[in-house]
Structure 1
Amino acid sequence: MFNVLSYIIGIISLVIVIPATIPFLGWANWIALPLIVIGLIIGQISSSDGGRNFCLVILLIAAVRLTLGGGIF
């Protein structure tokens, strides 16, 4: 159950992170980061690690985008 919940939170975060790759929308990653962390924590509680790994990939995408944009853009 926790794994499914982690996937759902990851998909919601992905919906926020994808448009945030557009220039001047990088601030949306700051909204997605807390959701991704919550998904990671819930995925860690789960017996399966698929949801956690999915959230880690989304976290990597958001972190790279924030790094390239200087944290805001």
Structure 2
Amino acid sequence: MGLISLLWGIVAMLWMIVALIPLLGWGNWFLIPFAAIGAIIAALGVLLTAPGQRGRAKAGLVLNGLVIVVGIVRLGIGGGVI
């Protein structure tokens, strides 16, 4: 689960970079739920993985959390359209 959440976070991060381009801010409406699913997968990975092997799941959780925060801020600034 850790690898899946890490890859999910990388894809979400790339999508976030695209959504930062002016007039593509509407992509954040799809990005936030996508990253939330990745964060749920990462949280499950942290809970179900042995203590010594939680690095990927934690990294996925941080990436997806960062994407969610940036997406919410971006929607707040641009009103969800720009």
Question: How many correspondences in the alignment?
Answer: 72
Match of 1:54 in 2: 63
Measured after TM superposition, the shift of residue 50 of structure 1 is 2.2
Match of 1:23 in 2: 22
Match of 2:35 in 1: 36
Please tell me whether Structure 1 or Structure 2 has the larger radius of gyration of its CA atoms: 2
Query: TM (normalized to structure 2)?
Result: 0.79
Quick one: distance in 1 between partners of 2:14 and 2:30? 11
Task: Note the residue ranges of structure 1 that are not aligned, 5 or more in a row.
Answer: none
Match of 1:10 in 2: 9
Match of 2:81 in 1: 72
Match of 1:45 in 2: 44
Identity within the alignment, %: 33
Quick one: distance in 2 between partners of 1:69 and 1:11? 24
Quick one: distance in 2 between partners of 1:21 and 1:54? 16
RMSD of aligned alpha carbons: 1.2
Task: Note the residue ranges of structure 2 that are not aligned, 5 or more in a row.
Answer: 47-53
Alignment-mate amino acid for residue 24 of structure 1: L
- Structure with the bigger RCO (C-alpha within 8 Å, sep 6+) is 2
Structure 1 residue runs of 4+, over 6 Å off? none
Query: TM (normalized to structure 1)?
Result: 0.87
Measured after TM superposition, the shift of residue 57 of structure 1 is 0.9
